[in-house]
Amino acid sequence: FSGLNWNPSFRAPLTEPGVAVNEGDYILAIDGEPLSGDENIHRRFRNTVGKQVVLTVNGQPTMAGARQITVVPIDDDSNLRNMAWVEGNRKKVDEMTSGRVAYVYLPNTGGGGYTFFNRYYFSQLGKEAVIIDERFNGGGSAADYIIDLLDRELMNYWGTRAGKVQTTPMAAIFGPKALIINEYAASGGDLLPFLFKEKNLGPLIGKRTLGILVGIYSYPQLIDGGYSTAPRLGIFDKAGEWIIENEGVSPDIEVEMTPKAVIEGRDPQLERAVEEIMKELPKTPRQEVKKPAGPDRKVE
């Protein structure tokens, strides 16, 4: 995994400066003890988190010409796996759309989700359209901030003395949008697609969300350090009807992640989102806006 080594939460030990390894290299020994092919390698890393470990590696499964590198293991690689999946999806969308469509993943609607959104959305403002992916979204809070940004409409242009034409608002992707959802998106992950649909921002693609939009807050800690929660709020619509809880939010286009497709390394939900976005792009072609001739301000 490539990781993001400037961020401690995404540190990938084998990609740090000075660690000269390549994908496909063999780990032959750990701290000088040879490693056999049928051995569980994870067992050898017990109690090594945060400590230096010497690996013997080679491009071939032989000690001849092997070299030693020093790494510091981490306690959990789930962040690295998630980031590899996200970056893989972003690159797929970029390749499938010839760079025209942005991909933004939202792991939750809390601090981490907003960090992901800000990092991936604003860095791709030059794209013509955007696919938001909230599969496996763990919730957090109401994501009206994200909806407000996605709902921005073009209001006017700015002609600068030098440079390209700017827009108001500046931070927006004005083209088609789509939201990918699945049965593991919950709580704030239920609300986001509901708001997306309410604003008519684009199609929901995937599977119906989990449907657990009753919130908890202000629960006291127990004397043993644990806590007990209780439902404190639920959602109802403008017509006065309770919604989403035990129902979820259904997609406009249902797409199943079939075992066959997943085994083949495909993502039918992402592929369908790209397909729908590419259908919409010709309907809203990006126009090259040129600054008009400067106004005549001479005084008669």
pLDDT average, residue stretch 271-279:
98
Please report the pLDDT score of residue 7 as a whole number.
87
User: Does residue 169 have a cis bond before it (omega within 30 degrees)?
Assistant: yes
DSSP 3-state of 31: coil
Please report the pLDDT score of residue 29 as a whole number.
95
87 and 236 both lie in a single domain = yes
pLDDT greater than 80 at residue 163: no
Confidence of residue 290 (pLDDT cuts 50, 70, 90): confident
189 and 137 both lie in a single domain = yes
Please report the pLDDT score of residue 285 as a whole number.
85
37 and 93 both lie in a single domain = no
Select the more confidently predicted residue: 295 or 82: 82
Residue 297 within any structural domain of the chain: no
Q: Of all residues in the chain, what percent carry a pLDDT higher than 70?
A: 100
pLDDT greater than 80 at residue 278: yes
Select the more confidently predicted residue: 161 or 247: 247
107-121, 140-154, 162-176, 285-299: segment of lowest average pLDDT = 285-299
> Can you say whether the dihedral through the CA atoms of 111, 248, 91, 3 is positive or negative?
positive
240: left (phi over 0), alpha (psi -120 to 50) or beta: left
269 and 156 both lie in a single domain = yes
Residue 64 within any structural domain of the chain: yes
Residue 112 within any structural domain of the chain: yes
pLDDT greater than 80 at residue 63: yes
CA distances from 12 to 78, 116, 133, 221 (A): 11, 19, 24, 36
pLDDT greater than 90 at residue 297: no
Contacts of 57 (CB under 8 A, 6+ apart): 21, 25, 26, 27, 28, 66, 67, 68, 69
CA distances from 250 to 176, 205, 246, 247, 298 (A): 20, 9, 12, 8, 61
> H helices within 122-228, ranges in order?
144-150, 188-198
- 216 closest CA partner among 206, 202, 229: 229
Confidence of residue 8 (pLDDT cuts 50, 70, 90): confident
pLDDT greater than 90 at residue 206: yes
Please report the pLDDT score of residue 81 as a whole number.
94
Compute the mean pLDDT over every residue in the chain, rounded to the nearest whole number.
93
CA distances from 63 to 20, 27, 66, 129 (A): 16, 10, 5, 52
pLDDT greater than 80 at residue 300: no
pLDDT average, residue stretch 110-114:
94
66 and 205 both lie in a single domain = no
Please report the pLDDT score of residue 293 as a whole number.
84
pLDDT average, residue stretch 244-252:
97
- 270 closest CA partner among 80, 83, 86, 78: 86
102-106, 159-163, 202-206: segment of lowest average pLDDT = 159-163
C-alpha–C-alpha distance, residues 102 and 120, integer Å: 8
Please report the pLDDT score of residue 295 as a whole number.
83
Per-residue burial over 161-186, b if 16 or more Cβ lie within 10 Å, else e, is eeeeeebeeeebbbbbbbbbbbeebb
Residue 3 within any structural domain of the chain: no
65 and 108 both lie in a single domain = no
Mode of pairing for the β-strands spanning 67-71 and 53-58? antiparallel
CATH number at residue 109: 3.90.226.10
Q: Please tell me the pTM assigned to this model.
A: 0.89
Please report the pLDDT score of residue 256 as a whole number.
98
- 177 closest CA partner among 103, 249, 266: 103
Query: Residue 10 class from Cβ within 10 Å (0-12 exposed, 13-18 middle, 19+ buried)?
Result: middle
150 and 223 both lie in a single domain = yes
Q: How would you list the strands of the sheet with 33-34, edge to edge?
A: 33-34, 26-30, 53-58, 67-71
145 and 263 both lie in a single domain = yes
Domain count, the chain: 2
112 and 246 both lie in a single domain = yes
Tell me the per-residue pLDDT of 122-131, one tens digit each, with 9 for 90 and over. Answer: 999 999 999 9
Please report the pLDDT score of residue 180 as a whole number.
99
Please report the pLDDT score of residue 169 as a whole number.
95
57 and 119 both lie in a single domain = no
Residue 13 within any structural domain of the chain: yes
- 114 closest CA partner among 81, 154, 147, 85: 147
User: Residue 260 has which token pair?
Assistant: 């066959």
151 and 206 both lie in a single domain = yes
Number of other residues whose CB lies within 10 A of the CB of residue 278 = 16
CB-facing half-sphere around the CA of 284: CA atoms within 13 A: 15
Please report the pLDDT score of residue 288 as a whole number.
82
C-alpha–C-alpha distance, residues 242 and 146, integer Å: 23
Residue 16 within any structural domain of the chain: yes
Whether residue 291 contacts residue 165, with contact meaning beta carbons closer than 8 Å, is answered with: yes
